[in-house]
Amino acid sequence: MKGMDIAEVSRRTGVPASTLRYYEERGLVASIGRRGQRRLFDPAVLDRLALIALGRAGGFALDEISSMLTPDGLPKMDRGRLDAKANELDQTIQRLTAIREALRHAAKCPAARPMECPTFRRAVRLAGAGRFEVAPLAPFKAEAVSVTRRKRRTGHVRLE
C-alpha cells in the first residue's frame, strides 16, 4: 500500500513528527488515512511541506499560509494576492537592505557616534521609512524540506 508513515515524511523533509501532527491539527497538511492508528501520508505531502516551508521562510504565519493553499494541493491565491505578498516581501527586503548598509557603513565609519554620521542616519531613515507591517521572519534552520523527489506588541518605528 502506498502512503508514507510519519517517520518517513519526517526523514525526507526534516520536519519533526511533532510538527507534522501539529500541522495536521492546524489543517495545513492532511493524512490520507491510517494503518491501524498510524497516519499515512501521500507523497504529495512532501511538496506541500516545501510550500509551507517557503511561506514560513518568507515570514508568513501558518494561518496565512493555509489561506494560500487549497486542501488539495495548490495555489489558492489569485494573482493579485500573490503579487501583494511579493510586494510586501519587497518592502521587507528594502528595509533589510538599508539596515545591512547601515551596518556595513558603521563598520568602517570613523564617526564616534553613528548617529552623527549623515550616511548612517540616512540608512536608519530608510530602514524605518516604510509604513507597512511585516510578519516576523521564521527562524530558519537548515536541514529541512527537500523539494527534490528522488525516490522520493510591538516594535514601533516611525520616521518623519
* Residue ranges binding DNA (CB under 7 A): 5-7, 16-19, 21-22, 36-39, 56, 61-63, 138, 153-155
Q: Which does 50 bind (CB under 5 to 8 A by kind): DNA, a second copy, none?
A: a second copy
The three cell numbers of residue 23 are 500541522
Binding-site member from 2, 36, 143, 151 for a second copy (CB under 8 A): 143
Between 23 and 39, CB nearer to a second copy: 23
Binding-site member from 2, 25, 36, 142 for a second copy (CB under 8 A): 142
40 near a second copy, judged by CB under 8 A = no
Between 34 and 76, CB nearer to a second copy: 76
Q: Which does 39 bind (CB under 5 to 8 A by kind): a second copy, DNA, none?
A: DNA
Q: How far is the C-alpha of 12 from the C-alpha of 45, rounded, in Å?
A: 11
Binding track over 99-138 against a second copy, x by CB under 8 A: xx-xxx-xxx---xxxxx----x--xx-xx-xxxxxxxxx
Q: How far is the C-alpha of 92 from the C-alpha of 127, rounded, in Å?
A: 9
CB 33 within 8 A of CB 40: yes
Q: Which does 82 bind (CB under 5 to 8 A by kind): DNA, a second copy, none?
A: a second copy
Phi, psi at 69, each rounded to 5°: -120, 135
49 C-beta neighbours (distance < 10 Å), count:
26
Residue 64: exposure state from Cβ atoms within 10 A (0-12, 13-18, ≥19): middle
CA atoms within 13 A on the CB side of 154: 4
